[in-house]
Amino acid sequence: MTYDFHGHWELVTGHNSPLYRSSLDKGNHDAFNAAAALTYWKEHGAPAEKLLMGMATYGRTFHLASAADGLKAPSDGPALPGAYTQVSGFWSYYEVCSFIQNAAVKWIEDQKVPYAVKGNSWVGYDNKESFTTKVRM
């Protein structure tokens, strides 16, 4: 499983499916990324050819608790539910696509993944660039 590493249950924003660790990660959060998960299994005897990297085709949302809007920005829960899924903290990919049309789309260079912000809503998701980077890992 290489997704759901972060979500609205935390008090700061975090990408749900980062490829690599962030320079901001501390403690056990160093391992909350796809590369670390795959490395763990290989180091414990799993043959690399039998490992599959899960790809999240959805976004995890946060409600921003301050004007900060980057990675590890203060959060006080999930953004509003998506129009179709109606689930707090989770947007389907088509809901993310609608959101990013009018949002500021940003890139987390350390982790090789995008996120988007509009108002007090923050969503971490994957796009063509991040999926391509993961496949080439």
Nearest-angstrom CA–CA distance, 129 and 137: 12
**Beta strand pairing call for 113-118 and 104-108:** antiparallel
Q: What is the value of pTM for the model shown?
A: 0.94
Q: Which H/E stretch holds residue 122? A: strand 121-124
Class of domain 27-135: alpha beta
What are the residue boundaries of the structural domains of the chain, listed by start?
A: 27-135
Nearest-angstrom CA–CA distance, 79 and 88: 7
What is the side-by-side strand order in the sheet with 90-92?
Answer: 90-92, 58-63, 121-124, 113-118, 104-108
Q: What is the pLDDT along the chain (137 residues), one digit of tens a residue?
A: 899 999 999 999 999 999 999 999 988 888 999 999 999 999 999 999 999 999 999 999 999 999 999 999 999 999 999 999 999 999 999 999 999 999 999 999 999 999 999 999 999 999 999 999 999 98
